[in-house]
Amino acid sequence: MLPCLIFEDEHLLVVNKPAGLNTHAPSPHAGEGLYDWLRHRAARWARLAIIHRLDKETSGVMVFAKTPLANRSLTAQFTAHSIHKQYLLLTDRPVGQGELTVKSALVRAGDRYVSRPVHQGAKTAETRFRECRMQNAECRGSGGCRMVEAEPLTGRTHQIRIHAADKGFPVLGDTLYGGTPAPRVYLHAAKLTLQHPASGEELSFQAPTGPDWPNTPASGPAEASEDRRREVGPFPFLALREALIEPELTDAYRLIHGASDGWPGWYVERLGDFLLSQSAQGLSQEQREELGRLLRVSHSNPRSTRRQSGLTFPSADYASSARGACHKVLTRLVRRTAQAEGSPQWVLGDTATERFTVRENGLQFELSFREGYSVGLFLDQRDNRRRLLTQHVAADFPLLPAASGNEPWEMLNTFAYTCGFSVCAAKAGARTTSLDLSKRWLDWGRRNFQLNQVDPTGHDFLYGEAFDWLRRLVRKQRLFDVIVLDPPTFSQSKESGVFRAEKDYGRLVTAALPLLKSGGVLFASTNAADWPPEKFLADVDAAIHKAKRTVLQRHYVPQPPDFPISRAEPAYLKTVWLRIE
């Protein structure tokens, strides 16, 4: 069960949306919003409908409709304002009154909205505020943060944020409306009460604030230094991971993704019992301290509870988890870097054994910090590996035709590395062929098969250059149900010379297509950061058209949510699933 899931039945899906994730994708090739990520994750969610929205930096209760009945009923309830919504906000300004109601007309002005007096023909926005005196008593004397309940009686864009600012207590972190800079906008949809669309029963859903919610008073506006702002939210990046990563199934994911998580140029991954830090230079003192703090925390414990503003929520109790951390200096000159120099260097805590295992989607994979630049698993492909494991690509896009039943299917994994894609396909019943230029990686892949109780002798491991083996397999008249193309951005071999993704990807697709069955699925991927997704997709389409094949289905996927995309940290990974006639 996903940690963000609050409730689900035949008609409703209710979740606790984390801050930092859009409700839906802002553009076709941007990062997935929560709606997109959920809708394509499971077949039973393929018909999800958006009923209401939360801003990207707002967290809390969201309800989606799963049936036409639920869609009609919830839409009518929201339109009639019969759904009761309760928000919590933090501010570092005096609230002034215990309770107040704000009513105004909202008018768009560029990228923000402004309040205007209520006038005929205008859409009115109305919000009730109540200061949470019990929670604020301890920090009032220090000029710290204050918690306020907000009840929107209407549902206008940015309504709570504008009205709070109008009354002199803007939401902490809401710089668009005059709030003090902070790791996030501290606005949380804490409670939602509605009538069930089928039974008519009144239901209330509550969502806890996450580990990005302050536990200590904040500084006033004049004291909001960068160091102090970091203290406001203990770990602003954890909430998103804790909402979407199932800890029982997965303990390998990205914790900090550069500028998107407030740390430009720095990347940290959780790999089982260890943390892997990466940047273009050695660790700064601030990064070292943050890494030390991360060693001491883990996922929240949902079995204990705490009280907040009269509501009972799961407690965010942290326990020691990671044992040690190492740091790797990123370089573009990987081929010229010696194995010892390219390997991560230990900086904190215990060191790992030569080989250790991590969990991903319920499977195990062997990793090593002593094998050079790469540790054995590329975490940004986790969701795509899951698509092979579950045989579900996206809404209305099963991996295999329904008529295939339980018949064995075949997958070709080119540039297989340590065979992560192959392991997932094999666990789903495929007979796999893994192709790589390195015998060492293929042997590593065989061990990954064994870790997951799959006999590698029932699968093929081909050592050699990709284009050469593709030609051989065509001569042998081999055909595959699924072909995975995930080449490095740059590679070089004696047989085919230099391969550059932006220049040669079309040639790779052309070489692979004769091996794909009619109705089979081609997975094409590249991490060439400077290659626009539109150009990548156009080159793939051109190769398919040139081969006189037709695309029947298409699903484009950017990098997963723990690799968040932002203007400061643009997307680099581009992947597309194609069913081809």
In the chain, which residues have pLDDT < 50? Answer: 134, 136-143, 216-233, 299-320, 336
Q: Identify the structural domains of the chain with CATH numbers, from first to last.
A: 5-232 (3.30.2350.10), 245-358 (3.30.750), 378-580 (3.40.50.150)
pLDDT of residue 295: 87
pLDDT of residue 299: 42
DSSP reduced 3-state for 397: strand
DSSP reduced 3-state for 376: coil
Length of the chain: 581
| DSSP count for the chain of H helices, then E strands | 14, 31
DSSP reduced 3-state for 351: coil
DSSP state of 304: S
The residues, ordered by sequence, that sit 6+ positions from 68 with a Cβ below 8 Å of its Cβ are none
Cα R_g (the chain), whole angstroms: 26
The gap between the terminal CA atoms of the chain, to the nearest Å, is 36
**538-577 in b/e burial notation, b at 16+ Cβ within 10 A?**
ebbbebbeeeebeeebbbbbbbbbbbbbbeebebbbbbbb
Angle at the Cα of 42 from the Cα atoms of 39 and 44, rounded to 5 degrees: 85
Distance CA 437, CA 431 (A): 20
What are the pLDDT digits (tens) for 483-502? 999 999 887 766 667 889 99
pLDDT of residue 372: 75
Angle at the Cα of 202 from the Cα atoms of 198 and 203, rounded to 5 degrees: 95
The residues, ordered by sequence, that sit 6+ positions from 67 with a Cβ below 8 Å of its Cβ are 10, 11, 47, 197
pLDDT of residue 278: 96
pLDDT of residue 84: 97
Q: Which helix (H) or strand (E) holds 307?
A: strand 305-308
What are the pLDDT digits (tens) for 443-493? 999 999 999 999 999 999 999 999 999 999 999 999 999 999 999 988 776
So which residues are the catalytic ones? 55
Whether pTM > 0.75 for this model: the answer is yes
